[in-house]
Structure 1
Amino acid sequence: MFLGVDYYPEHWPIEMMDEDFKRIKEMGANIIRIGEFAWHLMEKEEGKFDFSFFDKVIEKAKQLDMKIMFGTPTATFPAWLAKKHPSILSENEDGTVRVFGGRRQYCFNSATYRQYAGTISSKLVEHYHKEETIIAWQIDNEFGHEGSDMCHCSQCHERFQEFLSQKYKNIDALNKTYGTIFWGQTYNDFQEIPVPKKTITQHNPSLLLDWARFRSFSLNSFAKEMTNIVRAHKGSHQQVTTNVSGGFLSKWFDHEDNVEDMDFVSYDNYPVWGGLEKPVHPAETAMNLDFNRGLKNQHFWIVEEIMGMQGHNVIGYLPRPGEAKMWSYQAFAHGCTNMLYFRWRGMNKGAEQFCYGIIDHDNSTGRKYLEVQQVFSEIRSHEKMVQSSIQPKVAILYNYDNIWSWRFQPQNKDFDFKEELLRLYKPFYTYNVQIDVIPVTRDLSSYDIVLVPCLQMIEKDLAIRFEIFAKKGGTLIFSFRTGIKDKSNNIHFPLTLPGYVKELAGIEIHDSESLYKPVMIKSMKEDLIPKDGHANIWRDLVVPTTAEVLYRYVDEMFEQTAAITRNLYGQGSVYYVGCGADEAILNSLAGDILKNKGIWHLSTEQGLEVYRRSDEGKNYYFVMNHTCEVKQLNGTVIKPFESKIINEI
């Protein structure tokens, strides 16, 4: 098990290194992560490579039997490169160039940047390919973070036109797919196609979706090129990863494709950051962890785990005593097997001087140091269990094309796909159930329950997969606007909604409404609790064909239309939640479904999470109190922000 810190010795006088290493080792660490922003230190002048500083760092680490994850430094290029080749700089939508001074300002479609990035990566990895202390290479840093996945420069424009030409082969095929006859947008040649910068009203939805796919292709082709370079030069004992940043559902690239060539997934776990007065809901943190485990369907590393308060210009919430430890336990529960904290010491200069670490600017060993030391000491005794497999019976699906389609046409000013995914995820999280967060392309046969939030893009082949799943006894839960569009981001014609899953759900939808204030819904079955509730964001006015009605709208104009239905299909069941139903209703439905499917679940007080893991027939329970209040678990007191592992509940 690797437990450690992100350490940047180049930020400090070299004479501090010995004392730093001593304290890091005494804390219980056995690994450090270094180098991802140090390009200039390695190549102060073009072609003059100098790794002597890191030679010294590695020698110190070796003396203490400390392993190293080394980052290729391509996220922050040197000033001389920007001066010599300004074309490497990316552009905002308004045409302004992202000048040197921040980070990740490069354009993924710059052949010049790819050449320089490939050279520094190959020189660095070749220099250390025999170094046994270095066990992993991190490619770049937080791909796509802070808007760096988007660029509108002339290089991107040209490559976008080439991308479309390769996809559609001839311009008539593109015109037909896009429906460019509308608003007279018809093209005679691929070179007439614009980069979708701001215009009056909006661009063609099919064009916008292809633009999003192109952005994903641009970033991921760069990542794959850099990965291949590292693989060609690394030692056989060294693995390859990249650190996934948060906010992945709002990014312009497909994360599964991004990590496809990596040996394992790494994640930067920040339940709170600058500007937030409190952490995000613990279900969102859990979902983020499950998402990263689902990228390669395997356990993952966390290479930046929060300990201190964070912020660049605006500082966020200070993790309470024990709270960061609790987040660490939550991560281990959900599939993290190796963890590094960000960062060893907060920097006193530069843009991240308000990103606090384990050691603060007074350089003293305090509460946070002892908290990390405790995590390292305790979790090592559970290493085998932490590495045991996680095999959920519940999965929630996403598709990046679908997410991007919603971003371009949200249909309601308050629509947020992440929130709608969480709307279906939270009820099962509330019952402490293991959940996989996976792409819609994955095999579903190992699951009993599949949640499908707002999947408006469904083609016939996917519908057939859903039918097979339900016929064999699976339970499907669709939410509103399911199946309205095809893969080109066009509405299905002439299918009755919800398109190819209409018979599967046993319903028809002829009218829908975007909601800007909540509407009431009421139960139609005696055993349904609660008896009434509310819905927001959207309502499909559902007409059952073979489905039974669970909830109807309380609306004299639409009282004969359903809000939530259930249809028996083969040996399975298909629920259609045609509105943004409230938490109480969805919690009740989740509880009934879990009970009927015989899936282990546990009701706990709000804010208390219990995650069951099994190893060699024995159960273990991660217990995490996400609140500042005392909680009870079967008569046992769980203190505020307490976290522990127990053998029985």
Structure 2
Amino acid sequence: MNQLSLPRHQRPSTFDQFLFGACYYPEHWDRSWIETDAALMAQANVNVVRMAEFAWTLMEPKRGAFDFSLFKAAVQALKAQGIDTILCTPTATPPRWLTRDHPEWMRVDRNGVPFSHGTRQHCCTNHPEFRAESRRITRAMAEAFKDDAAVIGWQTDNEFYCHVDECYCESCQIAFRDWLRARYNQSIKELNHAWGTLFWSQQYDDFTEIEIPKKWRQPAPCNPSALLDYRRFLSDSITSFQREQVEILREVNPSWWITHNGVFYNIDYYTFAEDLDFLSVDVYPAFWGTKPECFIGASQLNERCRQATGTFLVPEQCGGPGGQLDFLQPTPEPGRMRLWAYQSIAHGADGMLHFRWRTCRYGAELHWHGILDHDNVPRRRFEEFTQEGAELKRIGSEILGTTKRVDVGISFGYEQDHAHAVMNFSRPQPDAQRELILAELMRRKIAVGYVNEADSYAGLKVLIVPSAIILDTVRAKKIEAFVAAGGVLLVTATTGQRDVNNHAIEQTLPGLLSEVLGITVEEFGKTEHRKMCLKGAGIELPADYYEIIKCVTAEPLAHWRFEANPGSEAAEGTVGLSCNEFGKGKAFYFGSFLNASSASVLLQMLCEQAGIETLGMTDTNVCIIERRAADRRLTFVLNNYPEAKLVQALPVGDELITQKFCNGSLTVPAFGVAIVRS
């Protein structure tokens, strides 16, 4: 099947082997270590490394005096051991001679203070002269390695917007105005309309009068339409910066694949990734904790990546406890590093590189531990790394060509969170609801995943749209078509309240979705006095935000009741949950935001309506995730507990890790992994 005909989130990789390895920094060690490192990596079943993302100063110690000899030697020594290389453009860390001569290239914070040398991501990616430097070093690197078959792909820069995404320098002011001119067809009249500048007498006569909205309050709240456009600009401008590098790399050697290692905020990765072969994501699960229920932190991060391009790569996966100047994460227990790696693979990764090969002895990350410690002695992390590599070498061909099964899609949209954020009155953002839904359904062993609102809904049985406050006709028609064809839909409060300019719509809510939902929204607001009673079930769902629904063609399923002070708001007994039959499907509307109580009840209802089957039966925080292709399915079982767990109702087939037959039931050891092929 043509990959382009598949929904984006279901596209497999085109790798010819499962990639396994580590991030390697030969510049941090004596050159004589390279061959020893390569031999030890081969012993650990490594087939790829990533390097050079922070080495600009070594590759160009003086302007125009390029020296790639260290990395050429490393690439060749690694290849002699059967190990390929992913190179990175080094633009996240420009050398001192560049920043010394051009202080005007530095980013500027909200208070007008320029950044200084001595960290990373300190140069402004919108400065035209820094962009020229970015193109220059990218071309020099590409030309130096264009004929080296050991270099199989590239990563652009490193973790765009990891530390800072906003900049208020003059170059950004100019770039923002140019972006606005292009968006509004050179018409200041169009911009004034889109921003609603008649409010508070904000009208502009020319684009040169516009400044980046620097603060949320200056002294009163900023224009929410301007703030949303600034978020759009941040995404588009970094996409443009990356595109210049991508074009050079593709010109020099079209056979290279190209990726970038996200995932952070203020980048619309669905659009950003269109210039890439696939997106990648760096995963450090300990940021979310190490309790069994904390699996959801890394799962949602993997899903934010997968929704952009389908199968993906992990250039940095936890290789030990992470630590910088002011923190040190807990040391992963034996087995957990490998478990976390398989978690990303279950979500769709076709490559796994651990950070880092050896812990650095200096710098801001001297306590960000790698596979080897400072003394270079292989210990239990190396043994676990080696085990993981051996397993992936043996079963990697089974994984390649499969993609994650998704029966229930959770709608994901970059602009939805930002439209909420600029005027949220303490409501939970869509992202919080997405994570809640993902966690609840994963605990129920349902095949669930994020699906971009611009992607195809083909193959989904259920679509959940959590508070998509911005809606246009294209999105609305897609949702209608999904339900009409037999899909089950759940929409939560505030969906469709605003147009693409972040203006409140003039139609009665839910606006463009009124017909498919079969309702109108008569009133909405915050409350401390309401609970929802689910019809016929005797279940109360607490809520601190309410919408009063008027059913037109829909059936009421639950009504609001007062907990206290009944005279404070609209009448008790009004509808808060509805279901509308539309075409062959059903559309539910929940007049509040999902919380733990309401998610548990409503998601069970949805799955029953759609006939969703579970992937297996076991304890709550044991994850079961399926990847599949036309000729096989792989059921991943991930035990997040420090004790063994029994798993039942699995498919019958071969368990790939132990190479034993699974009759539908198996016991997974503490922090263990099983993969059943059926």
**TM-score, with normalisation over the residues of structure 1?**
0.93
- CA shift for structure 1 position 193: 1.2
Report matched runs for 1:581-596 at 5 Å.
Answer: 581-596=594-609
Q: Output the amino acid matched with 2:350.
A: T
**Structure 2 stretches of 5 or more lacking a match?**
1-17, 649-664
Q: Report the CA distance shift for 1:63/1:461 in structure 2 as closer, same or farther (over 3 A).
A: closer
Alignment partner, residue 170 of structure 1: 187
2:535 to 517, 524, 529: 524
Say if 1:393 and 1:434, in contact at 8 Å, map to a contact too: yes
Report matched runs for 1:202-241 at 5 Å.
Answer: 202-234=221-253, 236-241=254-259
Say if 1:291 and 1:436, in contact at 8 Å, map to a contact too: no
Say if 1:279 and 1:317, in contact at 8 Å, map to a contact too: no
C-alpha separation in 1, matches of 2:581 and 2:444: 24
Alignment partner, residue 502 of structure 1: 514
Alignment partner, residue 620 of structure 2: 606
Q: Output the amino acid matched with 2:602.
A: L
Say if 1:385 and 1:613, in contact at 8 Å, map to a contact too: no
Alignment partner, residue 675 of structure 2: 645
Identity fraction in percent:
29
C-alpha separation in 1, matches of 2:292 and 2:118: 30
Q: Output the amino acid matched with 1:154.
A: E
My pick for the range that moved more, 185-194 or 435-444, is 435-444
Q: Report the CA distance shift for 1:442/1:203 in structure 2 as closer, same or farther (over 3 A).
A: same
Say if 2:485 and 2:584, in contact at 8 Å, map to a contact too: yes
Report matched runs for 1:189-268 at 5 Å.
Answer: 189-198=206-215, 199-234=218-253, 236-245=254-263, 248=264, 251-268=265-282
- For residues 24-68 of structure 1, give each alpha carbon's deviation from its aligned partner in whole angstroms, at most 9, with x where no partner exists: 111111111110100000000111111111122122112212100
C-alpha separation in 2, matches of 1:511 and 1:29: 60
Alignment partner, residue 460 of structure 1: 473
Q: How many residues align?
A: 633
Alignment partner, residue 309 of structure 1: 321
- CA shift for structure 1 position 364: 1.5
1:383 to 387, 396, 403: 396
Q: Output the amino acid matched with 2:521.
A: I
RMSD over aligned CA atoms reads 2.1
- CA shift for structure 1 position 219: 0.7
Alignment partner, residue 547 of structure 1: 554
- CA shift for structure 1 position 280: 7.6
Alignment partner, residue 123 of structure 2: 106
Alignment partner, residue 152 of structure 1: 168
User: 3-state DSSP class of the match of 1:359?
Assistant: coil
Say if 1:424 and 1:453, in contact at 8 Å, map to a contact too: no
C-alpha separation in 1, matches of 2:485 and 2:256: 43
Q: Report the CA distance shift for 1:70/1:642 in structure 2 as closer, same or farther (over 3 A).
A: same
- CA shift for structure 1 position 165: 2.1
Say if 2:281 and 2:313, in contact at 8 Å, map to a contact too: yes
User: 3-state DSSP class of the match of 2:275?
Assistant: coil
Report matched runs for 1:81-480 at 5 Å.
Answer: 81-147=98-164, 149-168=165-184, 169-198=186-215, 199-234=218-253, 236-245=254-263, 248=264, 251-273=265-287, 281-296=294-309, 298-313=310-325, 314-390=327-403, 391-412=405-426, 415-480=428-493
- CA shift for structure 1 position 238: 2.1
**TM-score, with normalisation over the residues of structure 2?**
0.89
1:61 to 57, 78, 88: 78
Q: Output the amino acid matched with 1:468.
A: A
Say if 1:336 and 1:386, in contact at 8 Å, map to a contact too: no
Alignment partner, residue 3 of structure 2: none
Q: Output the amino acid matched with 1:543.
A: K
- CA shift for structure 1 position 424: 2.7
C-alpha separation in 1, matches of 2:270 and 2:68: 33
Q: Output the amino acid matched with 1:534.
A: P
C-alpha separation in 1, matches of 2:88 and 2:293: 29
Say if 2:292 and 2:641, in contact at 8 Å, map to a contact too: no
Moved over 6 A (4+): none
- CA shift for structure 1 position 98: 1.1
Say if 1:3 and 1:338, in contact at 8 Å, map to a contact too: yes
**Structure 1 stretches of 5 or more lacking a match?**
none
Match status 1:481 vs 2:480: no
C-alpha separation in 2, matches of 1:608 and 1:280: 9
Say if 2:430 and 2:468, in contact at 8 Å, map to a contact too: no
My pick for the range that moved more, 433-442 or 257-266, is 433-442
Say if 1:277 and 1:316, in contact at 8 Å, map to a contact too: no
User: 3-state DSSP class of the match of 1:476?
Assistant: strand
C-alpha separation in 1, matches of 2:413 and 2:606: 24
